[in-house]
Structure 1
Amino acid sequence: MRRLREVLPKALPRSWQKGLQRGRILAHWKRVAGSPLDRLSEAVRLEEGVLFVEVNDPVLLHHLTYTRMEFLKKFEEAFPKAVREIRFTLAKAPWSGLTGSFSEPAAQAEDPKALEKARALSAHAPPGLEEAVQRAALALLKRRQGEPCPICEAPSPLHPCPTCRRLLKDPLVKKEARRLAQGQAARLEGEPHQVALHLAKEQLKAQVLELFPQVVRAGPEEKEALLPLLADLAGRYAALAGWEALPPAVKSLLGTP
């Protein structure tokens, strides 16, 4: 039997197929780049076969530009003929501390834990890039530490992160969210699935919170009719997020632990 992910694209509108393919390619950059480069760069868009990747350090940009053929080969293996070129650019809003020489004593005095993490990342950097990776990682940690994307949990100055923001607008992801909210099996994988799951949970939670006060204010007969609806919504939400994610008042009304 053929896998659903092999059959599904053929049954979808062409525009949705392209959107899903684009999202997968952008998300695949992190796997292609590998650690620690995946945490210091971000694939931001794909235009006519050209993948645009933002980096937060000019030294890294120079290195990645001259080693892009290696990345192109990996993309060709995963997505044949989809990516013909990769262009690296500096982020529009560079993180502080990216220019000038790296001052280790000053950084250590400011945040020893951040410096320790930056050193750990630089230990896995390509030869000759240890200092650039350490400098970029430290700047990233200063700005992003403790601020993970609420959907994929990747560090990002924007919430949601750029990748999740794009996927939130994808029609196929929205359709998947509706399927998940209805209790149907998942069809997508990876980050598209994560975003669809987030959307489904947010939709169900909003419906639960909207119906709950109506049930509380309702008379006996109306409450008897509304309670099953609330229980159904709460059950589908709990199936995705867990019963502990439901507000205590809702659980109390439904008699759930």
Structure 2
Amino acid sequence: MGMAAKRPAELLHKLLGSKGLEAGMRRGKALALWPEVAGEMLAAISEATDLTDGVLTVSVPDSAAAFHLKYEREKFLARYAQVLPGVVGDIRFKERPIARKSRRLEKALPPPPLSPDEESRLRRLSQAVPETLQTAVLKAGKAVIQKQKADPNPPCFICGKPSRENPCKSCQKLLVSPLVEREAVRLTRFPLKARLEGDALQAAKYLATTRLEAQLRDLLPEVVKEPSLMPLLQDTARRYLQLRTGEHDVTARRQLLPEALQSLLKEV
């Protein structure tokens, strides 16, 4: 019984090795800090979606946006080297629809109009980018200003406190805290035995969740090739769901797994 209980952890260490050790937390930090690295205007027309082998993938809506952001790559890399040394070595821009992360339904009310001063300031800002990108920047900038006027302080997606940035400044610092990182490592193994509290715990849970997501992503193709590894996938999925829900029995929570896993895992 004791050896059987240890087997999933041993298999996980053997299968993923150093590749999976910190991948999820590095990915979570890099994606969460993209708005700070890119700045409000450029973050409004782009979204960091993946980090694999040190290469950060950023989604953009069209080729004009990709063209402009490529010329800013070195600035972005320098900023990442400052806040997350050794994590992001390159950035690639891909054209694809951007998934907005708003948790709220849009109200059936017209957006608040911009004042003449706001319109003038926005046009001055747009003139700092190439002409081919000005329309996109104007549109995105207008949307940002209207959103701020309608809801100037949306909740931080980590701590839930009102903030003009997401994550908020406080949570950005927590994401790179060694104490939070150690707790995140522990939570991936013992998701129901938290040692921290408050915002530090929420930041650790965010990092632990992204780490377990990375492990699930790496395990999935291995299980398809080698079905005997299914117990390992089930164990990882169980800890992922326990971390997200705070519940010990997650049998009825399969719908919270990524869609590809839901069809493969009949039980957790």
TM-score by length of 1: 0.44
Which has the greater radius of gyration? 1
- TM-score, with structure 2 as normaliser: 0.43
Greater RCO (CA < 8 Å, at least 6 residues apart) = 2
